[in-house]
Amino acid sequence: MKISVLGCGRWGSFHLWYAADLGYQVTGWEPADSKNFALLTKKRSNPYLHLQDSIFLTTDLEEALDADQIIISVPAQLFRGLVAQLAKYDLSKIDVVLCMKGLELSTGKRLSVVATEEGLKAKSVSIWVGPGHPQDFVAGVPGCMLISSLDEDVSVRITERMGSSLVRMYRSTDLIGCEIGAAAKNVIGIAAGMLDGMKMSGLKGALMARAPQEVARLIQASGGDWRSVYGLSHLGDYEATLFSKFSRNRNFGEAMVREEEMKGLAEGVPTSLAMLSLADRLSVELPITSMVRSIIDGETDLRTAIGQLFLRPQKEEFSVSLK
C-alpha cells in the first residue's frame, strides 16, 4: 500500500508519521519553493514530531502521485490551485482523502465541491476530520476521528485502512454536514479564545450550547443532516478546539484580545467570512460567527459584542427548533 501526503505542515507531517507507523510505503510532497518543506527534508523533524527514515520526501508531484491513496493537507484557501494541477492527471485508481477543515473564502463552497468543479478524476473523494492534535497522537494519546464520503463503501475502505488503536475511525455518509461542521468549529474556537483572553471562560458553556444550533441551521439549509453537528466533526471536536493549548484557533482568539502576535495559520479566520457568505445566500442567521467576524474586522469591541450575545438579562433559553 502506497500513501502520499500532499502538504506536509503540522497535520500533513502527522499523516506522514502515522501512515508510516501503520507500515505503509509513504511519500510526502510540497512544491519546490516551500522553505518549511526544505527544512523538513533536511532535518527530518519539526516542532511536532520526527519522521521515520522510511518516509520519502519529494518536490516532484508526478512522483508523489505514484500511490494507492493520496492525503491532501494544504491550507483550505490553496486547495483550488492544487486540485487544478491534480485534475490534469488520471487518478482513477487512487483514493483521495481531504484533511482540511475549511470553506473556500471566495465562494463559501465546501472543498469536495471545489474538487468536483475543478474536474478531479479520482477513484473516490472523502474527508478526514475530527478531534486531535499531532502533539497528543505522537505522545501516544489515543483519539477518535471521522471519515466521511457519499459512498458508504468508500468510508468503510478508508476507515479500515487508516484505523488503529491510536486513532479509532468512525464513518459517515453526510459529507455536507461533516464538511460544514468541521470548518465551523474553527470559528467557534476563535470565539472561545476571545473569552479566555477576556477572562470570561465561564461563558464557554453558553457558547457550546448555542453554537451547535447555529451551525446545524447552516447545515440543514445546505442540504445536509443537521444531526451531524453533534458528532465528531463538530461538537465532538470542541475539547480539542475550544480548550486545548494546542488549538491554533483558540490561541488566535486569545492572542487577538491580548494584542499579541500569533504565528501559524488559524483556518477559522477565512472560514468565518466564507460561512457568512454561504449563510447570506441561504438566508441563515449566524450570530456567533458574525460576532467573531466583526471583532476581527475591528467593527465591534469584544466586550460590547459579548454583552450583546451572552449577557442579555432575563433571556429565555433558546429553543432547540431549527426552523
Reference 279, options 288, 3, 12; nearest CA is: 288
Q: What phi and psi, each to the nearest 5 degrees, are found at residue 46? A: -145, -175
Reference 181, options 143, 251, 232, 116; nearest CA is: 232
Are 167 and 139 a contacting pair, CB within 8 Å? no
Nearest-angstrom CA–CA distance, 184 and 19:
27
Distance set, CA 183 to CA 72, 117, 249, 284 (Å): 16, 19, 11, 16
The separation between the first and the last C-alpha atoms of the chain, rounded to the nearest angstrom, is 47
C-alpha cell of 116? 468536483
C-alpha cell of 132? 486531535
Nearest-angstrom CA–CA distance, 233 and 319:
23
Q: Which residues contact 182 (CB under 8 A, 6 or more apart)?
A: 101, 127, 129, 130, 233, 234, 237
Distance set, CA 231 to CA 101, 179, 227, 285 (Å): 15, 12, 7, 22
Are 270 and 280 a contacting pair, CB within 8 Å? no
Q: Which residues contact 167 (CB under 8 A, 6 or more apart)?
A: 18, 132, 137, 142, 143, 144, 145
Catalytic residue among 2, 88, 109, 185: 185
| Catalytic residue status for 185 | yes
Distance set, CA 221 to CA 132, 224, 245, 281 (Å): 28, 7, 33, 10
Q: Catalogue the active-site residues.
A: 185
